[in-house]
Amino acid sequence: MPAEAVVKVTGGRPLRGRYRVQGSKNATLHLLAAALLADTPVTVRRAPDIVDLFVYERLLQHAGWRAEMDRNRSTFTLGPARHVRPEVHPVLGGLVRTTPVLAAALLTRTGHVTWPRAGGDSFCLRPTDRHEAVMRAAGVVLESDASGFTATCPTGPQPFRVDVATPFGASRGATVTALLLAARARGTSLIINPSNEPEVRETLSFLSERGVLVDQDTEGLHVTGSDWISGGEVEAPGDRDEAATVICAAAATGGEVHLEGIGLTGLTEGLTHVLKQTGISLSAAGAHCIDARTDGALNGIEAVTGEGLLPSNAGPPLAALLTQASGDSVIREGVYPSRDSHVSPLSDFGARISSVGPVVGVRGGAQLRATDAVVGDIRGAAAVVIAALVAPGTSRLHVGHPLWRGYQHLTSGLRALGADVVVEEQEP
């Protein structure tokens, strides 16, 4: 899809039909970073064809790896590099959030790496201090300036003990950074307060199935490094963030959807609990399919995002859905200091929504109206798409780039569900 694009949505139609969920964006990016540690080629199947993965492909090629998507843009193959360039591209690396994770992988292979400050969605201040703490704990000499970081550990990462907790819960990215460094350290490392999010578990499984010893107890994750990590094939799980977006869109319009490519366990317990609280019926339709529909009026809810709870990425789409609930709702952000980039754009649609610090309040029963909207982050863009699907009339949404960063075929998938969605390419 073109990055410079306007998405025109004419709302007021219930969404009904089948929707194929893509492979997980975040899991794929972490798996590819872990694949840099492998001593033989790795193939990641069901990789999503999104902007962030296109950027990652170029980052890996810049670092010297044979990295490419297949002709169908669904399988990513990564072959070991003959000559590694210990650098995350200074411009492209600033476009994605997982730059420190990629840097950690390169560091384990070369003993030296430079990388720019992480980019990605900037809906609030998102420091990388826990990544830096992990590296220092592993014996890495770390220097930084305004442009980025330089890390050195000539003899490789040393076994370490580190706590990856933040004031807002465990850091998913720092947990993966710690896993990658520990996987090549000569000895056993301890990761305290690790994230248990699905994307972390996928990376953990990938490494443990290929020679890295992992044990978890009340202390945390005990990881014993290996001097040989085999490659092979791995399949990305279904993208729970996309699934949540589509479920919210269908429910907000009074429709129903049959999701393929993800099961109820892939949504995680915290997400399914919150969706059911709103009045959405979720049922398994096979091992990797879900039926979602509303049972009467939607309910207002109180929810908190965080580890094991409602995923933070589901907060903005859920807020758009809750504008149509019969009662009022409160969503408290428990992962970041705040997350409210969607609040002002939704207000332009007529939503009665506000935020104070980490708390977003939504009054139900709003009569949404078509409008123009601009949002710069992935899930905020998804929220205004949902609002536009509800609002009668035609909305013009300047959300092309953030949508393509995270969603492979959201616009075409919504059209298959009966939505009136048109993508207009603009002059860059």
Q: Cα 347 to chain center, whole Å? A: 25
pLDDT in tens, 120-160: 776 656 788 999 999 999 999 999 999 999 999 999 999 99
5-22+238-425 has CATH 3.40.50.150 classification: no
Specify the pLDDT at position 3: 52
Give the mean pLDDT of the chain. Answer: 94
Q: Which two tokens stand for residue 126?
A: 């998102």
Tell whether the torsion through CA atoms of 260, 263, 266 and 272 is positive or negative.
Answer: positive
Q: Which two tokens stand for residue 412?
A: 């075409």
Rounded CA-CA distance 195/213 in Å is: 18
* 342 SS3 class: coil
Domain ranges of the chain: 5-22+238-425, 25-235
Q: Which of 50, 48, 416, 409 is closest to 250 using CA atoms?
A: 416
**125 CB burial (10 A radius; 0-12, 13-18, 19+):** exposed
Q: Which two tokens stand for residue 421?
A: 């969605």
Rounded CA-CA distance 416/296 in Å is: 24
Tell whether the torsion through CA atoms of 21, 22, 23 and 26 is positive or negative.
Answer: negative
CA dihedral 58, 62, 65, 71 (to 10 degrees): 30
Specify the pLDDT at position 398: 95
Q: Which two tokens stand for residue 33?
A: 């970073």
Calculate helix-pair angle for 25-35, 51-62, nearest 10 degrees.
10
**145 CB burial (10 A radius; 0-12, 13-18, 19+):** exposed
The CATH number of 25-235 is 3.65.10.10
25-235: same fold as 5-22+238-425? yes
Beta strands in 48-206 (DSSP E): 66-69, 75-79, 112-116, 141-145, 148-152, 161-163, 165-166, 169-170, 188-192
Specify the pLDDT at position 123: 63
Question: Which residue ranges in the chain fall short of pLDDT 50?
Answer: 1
pLDDT in tens, 407-422: 999 999 999 999 999 9
Q: Which residues lie below 8 Å from residue 54, measured CB to CB, with a gap of 6+?
A: none
Specify the pLDDT at position 46: 97
Specify the pLDDT at position 426: 63
Specify the pLDDT at position 170: 86
